[in-house]
């Protein structure tokens, strides 16, 4: 389990900040696109080469593993075991 000092929220991340999120099948690169009243919009890289957006509450917890912020997920797999690097620019 991560320590409390590593836990943060999406509201603390800057616009353009990069993180890793869990999709249905794997972990993917993402970036913060917009922070508005109570909502953070996240752009996620997809396998087709496009991006899609998800919205989460500003108080959604993230954990920083080393220097990489991760959006917490219910899945039990480690992000390095099931990571998909679709876009080499990220």
Would you say residue 40 lies in a domain? yes
Would you say residue 21 lies in a domain? yes
Would you say residue 79 lies in a domain? no
Q: 6 is written with which tokens?
A: 């590593």
Q: Provide the number of structural domains found in the chain.
A: 1
Would you say residue 88 lies in a domain? no
Section 5-21 average pLDDT: 84
Count of residues making up the chain: 90
Q: What is the pLDDT of residues 20-62, one digit of tens each?
A: 888 887 788 899 999 998 999 999 988 777 899 999 999 998 9
> What's the Cα-to-Cα distance from 28 to each of 21, 31, 36, rounded to whole Å?
5, 10, 23
Q: What is the pLDDT of residues 69-86, one digit of tens each?
A: 888 776 565 555 555 555
Q: What's the pLDDT score for residue 1?
A: 42
Would you say residue 83 lies in a domain? no
Would you say residue 32 lies in a domain? yes
Predicted TM-score (pTM) of this structure: 0.76
Q: What's the pLDDT score for residue 4?
A: 44
- Which domain does 22 fall in, by range? 4-71
Would you say residue 51 lies in a domain? yes
Would you say residue 78 lies in a domain? no
């Amino acid at each position: 389990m991560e320590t409390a000092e590593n836990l943060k929220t999406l509201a603390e991340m800057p616009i353009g900040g990069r993180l890793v999120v869990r999709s249905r099948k794997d972990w993917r690169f993402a970036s913060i696109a917009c922070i508005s009243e109570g909502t953070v919009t996240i752009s996620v890289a997809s396998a087709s080469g496009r991006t899609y957006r998800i919205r989460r509450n500003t108080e959604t917890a993230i954990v920083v593993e080393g220097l990489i912020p991760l959006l917490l997920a219910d899945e039990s797999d480690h992000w390095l075991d099931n990571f998909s690097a679709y876009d080499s620019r990220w």
